Amino acid sequence: MPVPARLSFVTLACRDVPAMKAFYDQFGWPPSKHNDASFAAYQLGGAVLGLFGVENYEKARGAIPAGDSFRGVVLSVNCRDAAEVDDTYAALKAIPGVRLDGAPTDLSIGGRGFEWKDPEGNVWEVIWADGTSFDDREALIFP
């Protein structure tokens, strides 16, 4: 049997789950009915973003890098077109705690994008890549 070709749940190991929940609540993403002070999840198209305490992973996985050290993962919010990238940039500028890493730029691969970090240093990109589309659940279809 092949491995199913789907990424369905991404969990951020958080130092301060209540603070990170308060931060992500500002985005207006649909929350899970199970959200509380120790766990939060948000429905994002075809995937779910989870927030869970780092202490639940440290024994088996080790400590996460300190401060703003890069964790080796970039999360992406994909857009329908360049205008949506620019609109998302404007929306993120208004959210306390978002740390923008520059304004949107045109990309050499065909598209537009920019990066930002959340309060615990997780790196996100907002990108439109030429030729992408979305299914009826808002899940990305990459060419």
69-109 pLDDT, tens digit each: 888 999 999 999 999 999 999 999 999 999 999 999 999 98
Cα(67)–Cα(135) distance, integer angstroms:
37
Q: What does the pLDDT read at residue 97? A: 97
Domains in the chain (CATH in brackets) are 7-56 (3.10.180.10), 67-135 (3.10.180.10)
How is residue 4 annotated by DSSP?
P
Q: What tens digit of pLDDT does each residue of 19-52 get?
A: 999 999 999 999 999 999 999 999 998 899 999 9
Tell me what the mean pLDDT of segment 116-128 comes to: 97
Q: What does the pLDDT read at residue 65? A: 87
Q: What does the pLDDT read at residue 46? A: 84
Q: What does the pLDDT read at residue 114? A: 98
Q: What does the pLDDT read at residue 107? A: 95
pLDDT band at residue 115, thresholds of 50, 70 and 90? Answer: very high
Q: Residues 70, 75, 77, 81: is their CA dihedral positive or negative?
A: positive
Cα(30)–Cα(129) distance, integer angstroms:
25
